[in-house]
Structure 1
Amino acid sequence: MNRTLGLSLTNLNAERSNNPGLDLGDVKSGWAFQVTADKSSAKVNATLEKIDGDQRKAYPNIRILVIGEKQGSYTLTGEPYEGSKFTPDMVWDFNDVCSRIMSLSIDSLADLADYISRETRRVRIELEFPDEEGRFPTNIDHLIEAVPKPQLSRGAKMVAHLSAKGEFLDSNDTEEAIKTLSAKLASLPRLTREVFKFLVERRDDQTAGTTDDFRIADPKLRRLYRGDDLNGDLALLEEAGLIDGNEPDEPRGAPYWRIYFPRQKSRFSPSPDRLPQRYESGFA
């Protein structure tokens, strides 16, 4: 009701148990509601008779909200209707509320939908019962991403591939480097791991500065990637020591991201034209 009518209604029963006549009120706007499942004329009459002079003065705009559908028509004559200037159109039900919702702006509708979604989920969770083992249907396990379990090789194919190209890696150092890289990636969210894979796959042809590290230009990255939170993923990768941001190497150059890999005694960053396909596509 607050979002639909732009009010600040509060629970009047919280201030005074079983507040006579009214359930919700906004003193500043002068609006108040009696909320009931009873749609009869007798209920309308009983509600109005309970409203005292102070309440009428504080709330000149009083409505009765029927939870469900109201009667097809009401005949409200005499007292207490005439004295309170209460007319049949002041009895509302869900259809009356929905008709007002239809005229809201897109932003207000989005806010309302988000609110209802949050409240529905909260109420549903509060009403859940645990099973025989004390587990609730909704728990934190449904809300968090599972920790991945990497399946690693010793990198023999990569060592053999690079050896054929004239670059020789120690197999033990390579295995340790792969484990280190895997551990870093496993600690990150899945989408962030996929962003790292994307950075490697779509890297620039040139290496980063005076080293053989990979790089990708920041403007290029932001034009290629269409995710919702690229800055968040880049921050997580930078914190993990897998990338860092750099200013342009030349006056007319673009800022870029340097891509790092763990290194042991031997180099674990072969030049871009010597990266095997298995290595290139297995990070995520």
Structure 2
Amino acid sequence: MTIKSAKNFEEIVMYLSVLRYIFKSRSKRGLYDLNKQAEPFFKNLFNLIYSWDLMDLNEIQNNYPAIDLGDKKEGVCVQITAERGSPKIRRTIKKYNEKMLYKEYGRLVFFILTDKKAYSSEFDTKNKFEFSKERDIWDIDDVLEVVENADFDTIESVHSFLKKELSSIVRLLADKGSLLSQIEDINGIQPKNSLGFLRHLEFDADELEQGHTEVLNLYNKINALSIRSREYLYVLLTRAHTESVFGGDRFYALPADIESYAGLSRDEAVEECQILEANNLVYFENEDYPPRIEIFRPMDVGIDMFVMLKEYLDEDSFKSLIIKCDFSSLDG
């Protein structure tokens, strides 16, 4: 995998992780009405990844029985569901057989919007078609595994699609009034070489390329956030405490101390923490209400990028880097 493909794949993981967070959050509250809204998105995504020509069967017939997407030429169909239990799979297979859909679609795939289980049950197809719980029950991790091993063009196509479509699908799926429902498309300024910053860190000539790649990775993660998420990250960083870990400094913050400062309710603060954690920008253990958040971005040379950025930049430039995602101040 080339450096560019590796960078794009990392962003693909981030984009799909945001979607999985939404699916899991709503499913925990018993909201399983996500599949209809998600069908067009995953139809296009699967067509890109697998070179299929899936059609949304519910556009052909309202409440199409048993399955949601189908490609007659390839003989494959997909059921998209937020329910991951074995009873759901059994009911679908039963309906699939009753409607004799196996005559048009020899392969039935279940795509679980949350996380699939380690299924111990066997699923009886009455010998009408072949079905393997290992091969034919997918979740986002299975899709990511295929993308990771795909060719350059496929990774590029998937990355471009997600970058273009993420905001609209997140706004559609997220709870009305939630922070994710307010996600915006705000593009920053990418660093050209990061030389000013890297020379400040006394990087050797043979370390500059890797250092710039790490800066670009951080840029891409922050650039994918909504403005509100960036603002929350900025508040965390400016109100953070410093501790020494393994010979270097690292930031940590106490959410209870900054809720009022950030102007967020507790639920909003927790949601923002979860968004940042899904993007590997912060780390915490208690998902319900983290008492402590660690904010760090380790570099290969063993230092923390957030700490070094705050040291290198003046207050206005640091604020612009985080909130406006303007990384041009790092160039030399």
Which band: TM-score by shorter chain?
A: 0.3 to 0.5
Larger helix percent: 2
TM-score (norm 2): 0.37
The one of the two structures with greater contact order (alpha-carbon pairs below 8 A, sep at least 6) is: 2
Max radius of gyration: which structure? 1
TM-score (norm 1): 0.42
